[in-house]
Structure 1
Amino acid sequence: MTAIPRNHWYVAAYSREIGGELFARTICGEPVLFWRTRDGSVTAMPDRCVHRRFPLSQPPSRLVDDQVICGYHGFTYGADGKCVSVPGQTRIPRTARLTPYPVVEQDSFVWIFIGDPANADPARVPRASCLDSPGYTTVAGMEPLRARYSLLVDNLLDLSHETYLHGGYIGTPEVASTPITTEVDEDAGIVYVSRHMDDAECPPFYAKSTGLQGRITRWQDIEYTPPCLYKLHSRIAPAGCVPRPDGSDPDAFHVEVVYAITPETEHTTHDFWAVARDFALDDEEVSAFLAESNRTVVLQDVEALDVLERVIATEPPGYQELSINIDTGGLAARRLLQRMVTS
C-alpha cells in the first residue's frame, strides 16, 4: 500500500526545529514552508510562489518582519498567505495568495493538516503528553527513510524483529518467542498490541540505562493511532515483580517510545522518534546513552526498510507475501489505513 491518507494530522517537525528563519519540509508530497512569527506562533504554507512557482524557502528568498519575500521576482506574502506586494504595479491580483495549512503545536511536535481544512479538527490531534511532561526526560531525533510509510508501520507493530535485527541493543530471545495479544478499538481507530515477558534477559539498552542486572519482567504495550502516531509503553522490573495494570509500578522503570510516522512522498518517510523515561531524569550520561543507542536502532530499521523498498519495486505483479500470528497488529493497522485512504 502506497496511497497516503490525506485528511489527517501529521507531525511536520519538532517545535525546536522551527524558529524565526524559513524552514522547508515535504509532507505527503506537498512542499511546505514554515516559520515562527514574532508572536511565537508557527505558520505553514505552500513552498512555492504563485507567480512562477519559485520555492519560497530557496535563497535569496528571505523573511523580513513576518513577511516572506520571493527571491525570484519579489512577490511578498504575510503570515496569513496574502500577497502584500508585487513588482512593477500597485494593484495586487486577487489570486495572489497562498492558502495556509492548519497547524497545531502540541507535546513538542508541530502538527500539520494537509487535506481539506474543513476537516482539520484540532481536537483530533493524538496526544504524546509524556514528551512534554516534567515527570519524564526525553531524547529525540528524526531520520529520513527511503521507503513507504506503511513499511515502518509494519516494522513497529511487530517487535519480534528486535531479536534478530537489534540484538546487542534492545533484542533478546524472549521478544520473538513470546506470543502477542492484539485488540482494535474500531470506534477510536486505535490498534493495541501487547507482549508481556515475565522472565526475560535484560538487553543492554535497559541494563546500562537502569542499572538492572540479571533476569527481568518486561512489558511491551503498543498503542498505534493511524496514520501517524505510535506509542510503545515499555515497563521493566526485576524478574518476579508484577507490573500493575495502571502503570504505577513502584519497582519498575518506565520508558515511553514514540514514533511519528509522516509520509514525505509515497515512497519516502520522515521517521520521528523519541524516548522518554521516568528515571535518572537529570543524568546526562543516561540521556546521551539512550540517544545514541536508540538512533543506532532506528538506523538499523532504516537500512532494512530501505532495502525492502527496493525489493518491492522489483517484485513481479501479484506477488503474495506470507503472514503469521505475529502480524496481527500490522494487518489490523493496514486495514485501518486502507479505510482512511478510501473514506
Structure 2
Amino acid sequence: MTTIPRDQWYVAAYSTEITHDLFSRTICGEPILFWRTRRGEVTAVPDRCVHRRFPLSQAPSRLVDDQVVCGYHGFTYGTDGKCVSVPGQSRIPRTARLLPYPLAEQDSFVWVFIGDPAKADTSRIPRAPYLDSPDYTAVRGMEPLKARYSLLVDNLLDLSHETYLHGGYIGTPEVAATPTTTEVDEDAGIVYVSRHMDDAECPPFYAKSTGLEGRIARWQDIEYTPPCLYKLHSRIATVGSVPNPDGSDPDAFHVEVVYAITPETEHSTHDFWSVARDFALGDGAVSKFLAENNCTVVLQDVEALDVLEQVILHEPEGYQELSVNIDTGGLAARRMLQRMAAPQQTRTARA
C-alpha cells in the first residue's frame, strides 16, 4: 500500500530546469515529460506513448515546434496531450491522448499536481517568495536521495542532528542542547518548530558568510507544510540583539532555507534545496561559499538517510523505535502525512 499522499502538489523542478527541450522526471512513481513552449509556458504529460509505451523523452523522440514526436513509431502529440498525427492513417483514435498534469509556476519552482486533476486548487500551494525576490540572493541545488521521503521529513524537523552530523559546517553544541517548542496548526496544515539560542557558538557556515565571530544569537524557526514544502527561517545576530517591536530587524542577518521534499518512488526522493539571504546581495563569493557548503551539508544528510533506508528495509518485523522530546515536531508531521495518505483513491489513468 502506498504511503505517498496523492491529490497533492509537489515540486517537479526548478523553473530554470525546464526549457524548450524534452525533460523527464519521475514524481510519486509517475514518469512525467515536461517542456516549455515557444511562448514560455510549461507543459507536462505522461512520459510514454499511448501506442507501445515508448518513453517520449527517449531519443530519437524529439520536439518539433511545440509538438512531441515519438521516436519509436512517430505518434505526435500537442501541448494538450492529444495525438495529432498517426503514421499510415488519417483517422486518429479517440483514445490517442495523454492527460496533461495540472501545473503551477511560482517562487522559482514548477509545481505538479499528482492525483485527481479536479482537485488541483493552486491556492493550496505554499509560498516561498524570497526565492525569487530582489530583496534576497538565493543559491540552490537538488540531490537524489535513495530513501523514502518521510526520512527526510524526520531529518529536517529535528535539527539537533546538526551538532553531530554537520559539525564544522552548521552544527554547534548549542543546537542539540537547546530545547524546542512545537505548535501544530491543524486548520492550516502546518507544523512549527522553534529553537532560539540566545548565546551560541557561531558555526563556520555563518561566520564566513556574515562576518560575525565568537558568540551569537541564533534562531531556527521551522515551518513545514506537508507533504512537500519545508522552510527554515534562520536569524543570526550579535548576542543581546532582538527585533524591534514593529518586527523590523536591521541588526540581524536572515537566511531562508527551503527544501522541497518530492517523492520519486516509495523508496527514493528528490531533495530540492535553496538558501536565500538578505545580506551580501549579489556577492558572488558569498554565494559560492553558501552553495558549496550547503551542498556538503545536504550530501551528509543524503549519505546518512541512504544508510538508514537500507537498515529499515532489512530490519526484523515488529521493531519499535524510541522517540523523545526532540521528535515532537517530526511526530506531528508523521501524523499529518499518515492522514493525507489514508484516503488514497485509484487515480485516473493518464495514458
TM-score normalized with structure 1 length: 0.99
Task: Say yes or no: does 1:147 pair with 2:167.
Answer: no
Residues in 1 aligned to 2:6 and 2:216: alpha-carbon distance in whole angstroms? 42
**Which deviations, in whole Å up to 9, do the C-alpha atoms of 1:163-194 show, x marking residues without a partner?**
00000000000000000000000000000000
- The aligned residue for residue 48 of structure 1 is 48
Question: Which runs of structure 1 show a deviation greater than 4 angstroms over 4 or more consecutive aligned residues?
Answer: 244-247
- The aligned residue for residue 306 of structure 2 is 306
The gaps in structure 2 that reach 5 residues or longer are 344-351
- Give the CA deviation at 1:248: 2.2
Task: Say yes or no: does 1:109 pair with 2:103.
Answer: no
Q: Secondary structure at the match of 1:138?
A: strand
Q: 1:244 to 1:152 in 2, by over 3 A?
A: farther
- The aligned residue for residue 346 of structure 2 is none
CA contact (8 A) 1:193 1:222 kept: yes
Q: 1:245 to 1:97 in 2, by over 3 A?
A: farther
- The aligned residue for residue 270 of structure 2 is 270
- The aligned residue for residue 292 of structure 2 is 292
CA contact (8 A) 1:31 1:46 kept: yes
User: What root-mean-square deviation, in Å, do the aligned CA atoms of Structure 1 and Structure 2 show?
Assistant: 1.0
Q: 1:67 to 1:211 in 2, by over 3 A?
A: same
What amino acid sits opposite 1:21 in the alignment? D
- The aligned residue for residue 233 of structure 1 is 233
1:76-91 equivalences in 2 (<5 Å): 76-91=76-91
- Give the CA deviation at 1:296: 0.1
What amino acid sits opposite 2:183 in the alignment? E
- The aligned residue for residue 71 of structure 1 is 71
What amino acid sits opposite 1:221 in the alignment? D
Residues in 1 aligned to 2:325 and 2:92: alpha-carbon distance in whole angstroms? 61
Q: Secondary structure at the match of 1:230?
A: strand
What amino acid sits opposite 1:279 in the alignment? F
- Give the CA deviation at 1:65: 1.1
CA contact (8 A) 1:2 1:148 kept: no
What amino acid sits opposite 1:88 in the alignment? G
The gaps in structure 1 that reach 5 residues or longer are none
1:185-204 equivalences in 2 (<5 Å): 185-204=185-204
Q: 1:245 to 1:236 in 2, by over 3 A?
A: farther
Aligned length: 343
Residues in 2 aligned to 1:19 and 1:94: alpha-carbon distance in whole angstroms? 30
- Give the CA deviation at 1:245: 7.3
Residues in 2 aligned to 1:245 and 1:295: alpha-carbon distance in whole angstroms? 36
What amino acid sits opposite 2:237 in the alignment? A
**Which deviations, in whole Å up to 9, do the C-alpha atoms of 1:201-246 show, x marking residues without a partner?**
0000000000001100000000000000000000000111123577
- The aligned residue for residue 205 of structure 1 is 205
Residues in 2 aligned to 1:27 and 1:286: alpha-carbon distance in whole angstroms? 33
- The aligned residue for residue 20 of structure 2 is 20
Q: Secondary structure at the match of 2:220?
A: strand
Q: Secondary structure at the match of 1:150?
A: helix
Q: 1:13 to 1:247 in 2, by over 3 A?
A: farther
Residues in 1 aligned to 2:275 and 2:231: alpha-carbon distance in whole angstroms? 10
Q: Secondary structure at the match of 1:16?
A: helix
Deviates more, 1:244-253 or 1:183-192: 244-253
CA contact (8 A) 1:2 1:150 kept: no
What amino acid sits opposite 2:95 in the alignment? T
